[in-house]
């Protein structure tokens, strides 16, 4: 398991308390070898990684009274039995609804309100036809959305989770520093991307980093008049004066450290410094002035927009933070590289101490989109920085 047993028993107890509050009798979470965030979070068991197969679902049923039972593929049985969940049902492919039904039978759940991963940023990781057959086999159960319960627990990190997140951000910071230190003028995006990938692994990222990494540079729109951020790398060499944005992520025992940094081939110009410094200022002011517990994400966004206007980043100059599609200045971090809450207009999630947020702002100019990003954990008294502070554009000699 990623954590000691008491960490998972605490999560199950919090789930039971919220089931009582929200009128649920049980919650069913799931995962497979492509993704298993909720299953891993509550069970402590990780299905075999990186096989890119969805044919081996894993399920965990939790009851309001504290019961727990897991359904696992036979290849995962040995590791599942090392965990805290007492009831284990195993199956060999193909998975069928009777394998899920076995959990309900073991825990005596034949009626009541059962929560499923049916809402925001949730997926039921089993074939839809088997889920329908499970529902038909349990006519006494009403099936409802468990996302409000799941996210209320997962958004607030425990001390053990924060330790993993600190390590992940340290790994990401060291990898970015090494990448820019070893980069050479004239490298392409692809060469920088590959250098950063190796740096992330060498620094200790214990899962492949490629799912999160994005790269963009001014070479993309030289003579093209377009900006294409957040895309895969291209082969064209960067010339003196070109800027590059590298947004990377490191995983430490499942938890993400994620933030990006910018560099210039050669000494930055005054205009380049101004563009990037504005992004850094907006991030800093958002952290210092907007993010605090006991307000909603939307209220925090409105405070940030006031700071943006004071910096001259308003009156139509905004990337659409103040209108559709309502870009965010912050997103949650944890087992996913982006998860609730989103600090933006239209998100009324209450902010709480223990939430971890990636705070990012982007400023578009005719030449480049400048970005800065920091990760913080909300405390009762403000924010604690988890990322290495952005100290400005890095010069690649």
What's the pLDDT tens digit per position in 63-75?
A: 999 999 999 999 9
pLDDT mean across residues, the chain: 92
pLDDT of residue 322: 85
pLDDT of residue 212: 66
Is 5-154 a CATH 1.20.120.10 domain? Answer: no
CB of 352 closer than 8 Å to CB of 263: no
pLDDT of residue 319: 67
For residue 220, pLDDT beyond 80: no
Task: Tell how strand 255-265 and strand 394-396 pair up.
Answer: parallel
92-115 exposure pattern, b = at least 16 Cβ within 10 A, e = fewer: eeebebebbbbbbebbebeebbbb
pLDDT of residue 169: 96
CA distance 125 to 53: 11
Q: Where are the domains of the chain?
A: 5-154, 159-396
CB of 113 closer than 8 Å to CB of 138: no
What's the pLDDT tens digit per position in 157-208?
A: 999 999 999 999 999 999 999 999 999 999 999 999 999 999 999 999 877 6
For residue 21, pLDDT beyond 80: yes
**pLDDT confidence of 54, banded at 50, 70, 90?**
confident
CATH fold match for the domains 5-154 and 159-396: no
Is 159-396 a CATH 3.40.50.1000 domain? Answer: no
When pLDDT is averaged across residues 272-297 and rounded to a whole number, the result is: 96
What's the pLDDT tens digit per position in 226-254?
A: 555 566 788 889 999 999 999 999 998 89
């Amino acid at each position: 398991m990623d954590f000691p047993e008491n960490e998972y028993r605490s999560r199950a107890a919090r789930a039971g308390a919220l089931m009582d509050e929200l009128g649920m009798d049980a919650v069913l979470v799931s995962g497979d070898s492509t993704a298993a965030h909720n299953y891993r979070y509550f069970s402590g068991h990780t299905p075999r990684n990186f096989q890119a197969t969805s044919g081996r679902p894993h399920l965990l049923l939790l009851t309001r009274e504290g019961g727990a039972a897991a359904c696992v593929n036979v290849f995962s049985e040995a590791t599942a039995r090392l965990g805290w969940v007492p009831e284990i049902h195993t199956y060999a492919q193909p998975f069928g609804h009777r394998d899920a039904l076995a959990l309900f039978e073991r825990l005596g759940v034949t009626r009541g309100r059962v929560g499923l991963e049916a809402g925001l940023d949730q997926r039921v990781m089993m074939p839809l036809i088997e889920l329908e057959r499970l529902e038909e086999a349990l006519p006494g159960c009403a099936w409802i959305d468990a996302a409000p319960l799941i996210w209320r627990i997962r958004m607030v990190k425990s001390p053990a989770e924060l330790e993993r997140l600190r390590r992940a951000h340290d790994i990401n910071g060291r990898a970015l520093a090494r990448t820019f230190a070893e980069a050479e003028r004239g490298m392409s995006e692809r060469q920088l991307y590959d250098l950063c990938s190796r740096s992330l692994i060498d620094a200790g990222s214990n899962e492949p980093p490629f799912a999160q990494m994005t790269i963009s540079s001014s070479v993309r729109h030289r003579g093209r008049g377009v900006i294409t951020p957040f895309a895969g790398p291209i082969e064209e060499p960067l010339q003196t004066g070109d800027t590059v944005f590298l947004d990377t992520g490191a995983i430490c025992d499942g938890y993400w450290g994620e933030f990006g940094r910018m560099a210039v081939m050669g000494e930055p110009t005054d205009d380049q410094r101004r563009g990037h410094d504005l992004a850094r200022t907006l991030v800093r002011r958002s952290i210092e002035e907007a993010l605090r517990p006991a307000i909603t994400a939307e209220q925090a966004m409105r405070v940030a927009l006031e700071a943006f206007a004071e910096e001259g980043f308003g009156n139509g100059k905004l990337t659409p933070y103040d209108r559709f599609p309502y870009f965010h200045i912050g997103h949650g971090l944890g087992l996913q590289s982006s998860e609730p809450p989103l600090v933006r207009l239209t998100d009324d999630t209450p902010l709480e101490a223990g939430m971890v947020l990636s705070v990012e702002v982007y400023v578009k100019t005719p030449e480049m989109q400048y970005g800065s990003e920091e990760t913080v954990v909300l405390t009762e008294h403000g924010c604690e920085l988890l990322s290495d502070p952005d100290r400005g554009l890095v010069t690649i000699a």
